[in-house]
Chains A and B, each alone.
Chain A
């Protein structure tokens, strides 16, 4: 029998706000434990929450970008459960009056566009973190409340995805939107983007959904993809052997790359949601929504289409560049300096991303501005320096912050495009390699490549390769 996988995703994104959801504490990553807390986020008795308006606005941006219906009044609810990382033993979340409902997200897989329904978009507060030093022999658990109260955006999709590829496309598109709209930095390694997947399988063409397995602890997109593959195989195997897949909650084991059932006690939860009486309902006026709309930048899908249609970029290039807003912005600013778009895209996807990767930094951290990159690219396209020297110069620019022209001049890297100057070098190389000359004259074209290589070596890369080729042709009497 042929099976299809049915996938729905819950995405938690940490907001890119300076302060927490209901108090003024900072949200910087990596601060010493419990240094970014106050009586409110410590859940001390008598304290009350106050809504962070910026978080609501960022949430509205997401809801608008995901084409949600936005009700005129939104409200918070309490989700009640006991856990030591949750100091109030309830989480302020939304359940009855979500910020946005009934939206959709378009994804593209193998050139096909699909719509994934968005059930709702809502706001909530994050919990703290537990550290278990007993792994190292200690007999206690430590609680760090720095993260407690950090604003979270939860996006709940409909079970509209049918493969790990589609889920992957959905996650990437969602992350691109969140980054583009300045909602979240989506840094997986800092836990600012986390997922839960609802996975079931059924016979292709079936009407009814199979029993749903909820997989938690998915802290990267690759974990989601692996968990979907794993669950698909596991569930199909159960069905093939005549069994039924129980509806249950599983945890993803990152090390072993398998799903494990949660303790049934943790699973059987009644959260007893009820309206948070410490907060008044928030009215979302049409004027406020208009303001939020005005502050929203172009969505990634729109930008990609524009890059393809107006700048003639191949779809693949547009996809890579638009994935991260700062890269896309940088690219556009470079193009505005007069650089041919495809050439600029090659530089972005090649040298620029290589350096960012190597240095593990953001593009805004580089001392090279778009006009500086444009100048460098200009030197290469004008044949003032070779492509390979260009790469060396770029690395140098990233280290020193100097302009390309300065570096080329200081280090004497300008390409030798003077045929008189280069002719002497070519003659010497030809004299030194009679065998290669003979090969060339007998028609072996690869010998020419070897000779150009030797010329580049002799000039430390400064020879204009085109001119060198012409000189070889002329001097070997071809």
Chain B
């Protein structure tokens, strides 16, 4: 039944409810495809086949008895391996957590369970979500399904690749400086980073607490709306989660987009952007005009400071968040008998990768006595200016259309020795996290080497509905979404 792989999450669920297919058939089909294809893609760290089949059996059983099931019943979902799952290894693709099995579920996982989604596995990432190629995983490199010699982006590369390769109709990731949107763009899928506070972070292993946000991967905006409805909302266990009501995103999706004002920031289309990406953004602007939207030239003057600000704040928080991985209480511990200081040092030296160490050192430096004011405090001030840029711009437009990454997906190994170049490529995504705004990335065409090119829409806080609506209208008006990577089953 190859057609099951082609169906959206919403359609899979509707087919299940109509009795056209069983949850077991859906799950078996996806597990089979993972078996056939993931050896080449490497999207998953763990496949939870047995638990998935149990969950499917439970759903089928309840449907047989005429009992109620949740809104995602029967829909397989993959989770980035930095989301805690009770009884299932949660590694952050790090040696230090290689054998860590959380005793609790993240809030989003609880909500997915209640919605009867079927967890099929945990996906690869750059270690502790630090990176943008998934090459910084301690375990494996994930391939881009469109071109296996290329990276899927990162840090949520495994989740993006899983959806692109048809290994899961839905996946969750986390976005701290672009970690959902950039891999979504590289893999030609829809990636939604909600407003900071829209989705509970409880159970997301933190990289940078004030920037991290859990979000969705799907093939289209409609599925993103469906998934966001399930995971969004206040959580008493996360003080930074918002009390804002959760709209019916799916219903909001259908509303008209005529008259919507779309801002096009001139700083995002300046030096450094590849021609194929710029062309895709300009074509997307034309499509928006065609849909009745008004496209307006805008300015975000502090754009050039976003990357530096993001790396100071992000690494400062990370240096503290990652201090707990010390080999004492859980996780990998250096072998042998030694005093506690050496135990810390050896466990962390052995357990953490280069990129993680680099960021911990940067952040420790930024918070150190004598440097705190010059780096961390100053970064907080610039963060306020960047936020103000967006507030000012979004007073005049409803959303902002922008590129996601300066180029299409890199070749594997191409950027591995140039961390600074990789950092600078976060130019279009990191400001959104600093401002805490929602953004959605989606496929807007084909660029160099036949690879997908993504664009993003950024919006006002808690106005995910508007972004989903315009992205949905864009999809209806174009046929970029029809393209599929060429991955034949064995």
Contact = CB atoms under 8 A, between A and B. Distances in A.
A82 B84 contact: no
Nearest to A49: B239
A83 B419 CA distance: 32
Contact of B329 (A47, A87, A90): A87
Contacts of A342: none
Contact of B323 (A39, A47, A88, A280): A88
Nearest to A145: B329
The size class of the interface chain A forms with chain B is: 20 to 34
B239 A89 contact: no
B103 interface: yes
A198 to B, nearest CB: 19
Contacts of B324: 43, 45, 87-89
B316 interface: yes
Contact of B328 (A39, A45, A84, A272): A84
Contacts of B210: 277
B104 A279 contact: no
Interface string B165-177: 0000000000000
B320 A80 contact: yes
B203 A278 contact: no
B283 to A, nearest CB: 39
B344 interface: yes
Interface string A110-153: 00000000000000000000000000000101010000000000
B372 A277 contact: no
Contacts of B236: 50
A270 interface: yes
B84 A45 contact: yes
B358 interface: no
B211 to A, nearest CB: 9
A43 B102 CA distance: 12
Interface stretch (B131-139, B361-369, B426-434): B361-369
A270 B100 CA distance: 30
B240 A278 contact: yes
Interface in B309-357: 316-317, 319-320, 323-326, 328-330, 337, 340-341, 344
B446 to A, nearest CB: 38
Contact of A274 (B238, B330, B372): B372
Contact of A272 (B90, B92, B205, B320): B320
Contact of B320 (A42, A45, A48, A90): A90
B226 interface: no
Contacts of A89: 323-324, 326
Contacts of A278: 206, 209, 239-240
Contacts of B239: 48-51, 278-280
Interface in A10-60: 39, 42-51
A45 B101 CA distance: 11
Interface string A424-460: 0000000000000000000000000000000000000
Nearest to A89: B323
B368 A272 contact: yes
A216 interface: no
Contacts of A143: 328-329
A400 to B, nearest CB: 49
A78 interface: yes
A370 B364 CA distance: 60
B114 interface: no
18 contacts: A39-B104, A44-B103, A44-B330, A45-B84, A45-B324, A45-B325, A46-B106, A47-B202, A51-B239, A82-B323, A82-B341, A272-B364, A273-B367, A274-B316, A274-B372, A277-B209, A277-B210, A278-B206
Interface of A: 39, 42-51, 78, 80, 82, 84, 87-90, 139, 141, 143, 270, 272-274, 277-280
Given A48-B239, A89-B326, 12 more contacts: A44-B103, A45-B84, A45-B100, A48-B238, A78-B320, A80-B320, A82-B323, A82-B326, A82-B344, A139-B337, A272-B364, A274-B320
